[in-house]
Structure 1
Amino acid sequence: MDRDDRDDPFGDFFEEIERMMNQMANADGEHADDAGFGTETHVDTYVEDDTVRLVADLPGVSKEDLSLQCDGETLTVSAASDRREYDERVSLPVRVDERSASATFNNGILEVTFDRADDSASIDVA
């Protein structure tokens, strides 16, 4: 019996690892690079005393490709690059003043900061 004719004792093991890696790389039959926002993106939200800050990883996106929209309760991040498209709606943990927004984008990291909206308005009685 030639050495090449024997079964590889690790063959099944490596085939199973390859199958699992392919399953992780393919989302619903799509290549991982085409699967969209969320496959490589991580969004963190921080609530501080008077501000709300979101930090998102957007690899492969340029500043010119970004579009941000906020209605005070949800931040929508849209971006497109040659390799992928992102479209994420992030529910904010508290209501924010959308007009106070400021954003920076550096090396694929988006940081958006908002002032918290007042919970209620005081009404003067005349």
Structure 2
Amino acid sequence: MQPGDRDDSDPFDDIFDEIERMMNGMMNGNVDIRTEGMGTDAHIDIQEDGELVRVIADMPGVAKDAIDLTCDGRHVTIDAASNRREFDERVSLPVRVDEQSANASYNNGVLEVVFERADTSADIDL
């Protein structure tokens, strides 16, 4: 069977056809979700909560040990892979954070990394 061919035994064909129709209407293009896949970008949300900055990323299907996180205080880089997807995201943070304060958890496909804000100024002794 070639991409785009219908399999009358697949009960999801009608659902995929409707999703493609809606996506084509929104994107003014020729979208074929059967060949395009589900995308490689993680949905990422950044929240500021007082002295904390939270980075939350939806990465379903990724094993915890396949996630690599780095932070330079201004950006968080998330590298991960599963059988179906690769995630390679570099996210700018709204404020400078103390990368040494990072606390990460991964549950049910949701990665959450919490940082403390970095001090905005340094004391200089004379």
Q: Which amino acid aligns with 1:46?
A: Q
Q: Which runs of 5+ in 2 are unaligned?
A: 1-17
1:89 aligned onto 2:90: yes
Q: Which runs of 5+ in 1 are unaligned?
A: 1-13
Which of 28, 36, 53 aligns to 1:31? It is: 36
Q: TM-score, length-normalised on structure 2?
A: 0.73
Q: Which amino acid aligns with 2:101?
A: S
**d(CA) in 1 for partners of 2:43 and 2:62?**
14
1:107 aligned onto 2:118: no
Q: Which stretches of structure 1, 4 residues or longer, exceed 6 Å deviation after superposition?
A: none
Aligned-residue offset at 1:36: 1.4
**d(CA) in 1 for partners of 2:105 and 2:50?**
21
**SS of corresponding position for 2:30:** helix
Identity of aligned residues (%): 49
**d(CA) in 1 for partners of 2:23 and 2:122?**
58
Cα RMSD over matched residues? Answer: 2.4
1:52 aligned onto 2:56: no
Q: TM-score, length-normalised on structure 1?
A: 0.73
